[in-house]
Amino acid sequence: MSDDFEYEDRSQEISFDDSEEDELDSLAPNAYTPMIFTTLQRPTRDLHSDYAAKELDPRPSFQRGYVWDKKRASKLIESILLNVPLPLIYTAEEADQTEVVIDGQQRLVSVFGFIEEKFPKDGSTFRLSGLGLLSDFNGKLFSELDPGDQRAIKKYIFQIIKISKESHADVKFEIFERLNSGSVTLNPQELRNCVYRGRMNELLKEMAGNTDFRLMIGTSTTTKRMQDQELVLRFFAFYDRTYLHYSGSMKSFLNEYMNEFKNPSADKADKLRAAFKKAAAISYSIFGHNAFRKFKIGDSNNPNGDWERPINRPLFDVVMWSFSRYEKHDVFSHADEIRASLINLLATDAKFMDAITSAVGDKNKTAYRFKTWSDVLEGIISKSRTGRIFSPEVKLQLFRASPICKICGQTILSLDDAHVDHIVPFSKGGVTQIDNAQLTHRFCNLSKSAN
């Protein structure tokens, strides 16, 4: 099993409630071109020299941090002293001729750390510990080993597979997926960060640290597995290309975009940065901590509805994209109505709910959710109202006066779950005024309509 594809700390991972089956698919066969690589045998001495000269990067930004403890790292040194064959090291050549480690980070960083007598995780003194066969070496620094043992470590041969910079980026992505066969595999964004190296990676990381964005996704720091950066990338891709150019595979859509703009110009980066910040600021102002979550209405056992906590990526896409098309002042004056309208869409449009929940990578479902919500938002902002919707002020006034559902008689726990219903139906001439208004649960109102 690879030593570089195990993740131990998941405290900052994001929980999603949608399914993107296309993420599991391989890239299209017509993208195939041969992988160009060389097989090398390199002694520790040479690898360490390249590392010191910054020509070999065993800890590039796409890799997780160093996670081994001293006992495990010491066991590696023991294996080297015993001349035990170690697994292959995989590296990739960059455009500037430098070399990054794709698989083998923990091994190389461990042996380099022992030679330099600093433990990679915390910089403490690296003395061997926990050895069995070579127990006499426990407690020793590299400089305290016999000269012959020091030479044995420096002359130990690592088997290297070096992937050439001439290899097609899409094929690299596919190969890295196949190499990544440990107990916990790299996700698509971690692989993109590896394959499509450039300034875009830094922009994604920067925007993932945006305060409004962090408050909405509910993590105080950037996520360990780049889920936040993938959300930023999704926004960039849909903002730049729109859903009309989405092909039906989210993986390919994001891969192609990141490959094309892995080194965006300063002007393009500024444009993307400004659009993301604006959309995030509007989203947080309208939805707060409930942004990008589904609203679940109640049922016959409990009429109270509430927000679900996992983030829904399709909602993120459509909400952020739609807000990027307007100025803040155009949206803020309709904040309450926009929030209520999205809740109503989630509560009443079964097709929209399906389009954000199941097989969401489907091209038709993607088009439906984008167009449906953008039409609703455009209708609100352009003031194309039918006259049958009660204002947010009326709902708040009724809720403050008595948060009791006029249908089931139970307390409505949340203003978001409150619906203002016509006492005399609008279809029968009922006016949209407060004296013809009653407060209900959304579930109770829908049940009434169904009956």
Domains of the chain listed by start with CATH number: 36-166 (no CATH), 199-381 (no CATH), 392-450 (1.10.30.50)
Q: Pick the closest to residue 405 from 369, 447, 366 (CA basis).
A: 447
Strand partners, 41: 159
> What pTM was estimated for this model as a whole?
0.63
pLDDT at 19 > cutoff 80: no
Average pLDDT over residues 187-196: 79
User: Mapping DSSP to helix (H, G, I), strand (E, B) and coil, where does residue 440 land?
Assistant: strand
Confidence of residue 296 (pLDDT cuts 50, 70, 90): confident
- On the 0-12 / 13-18 / 19+ scale of CB atoms within 10 A, 233 is buried
Which residue type is seen at 345? L
Q: Percentage of residues in the chain with pLDDT exceeding 70?
A: 85
Secondary structure (DSSP) of 148-164: HHHHHHHHPEEEEEEE-
Answer yes or no: are the C-beta atoms of 156 and 43 closer than 8 Å: yes
C-alpha–C-alpha distance, residues 230 and 207, integer Å? 11
- Residue 270, token pair as written in the block: 């500024």
Which segments within 94-156 are labelled E, that is strand?
99-103
Identity of the amino acid at 441: H
Whether the predicted pLDDT of 6 surpasses 50: no
Q: Identify which has the larger pLDDT, 24 or 271.
A: 271
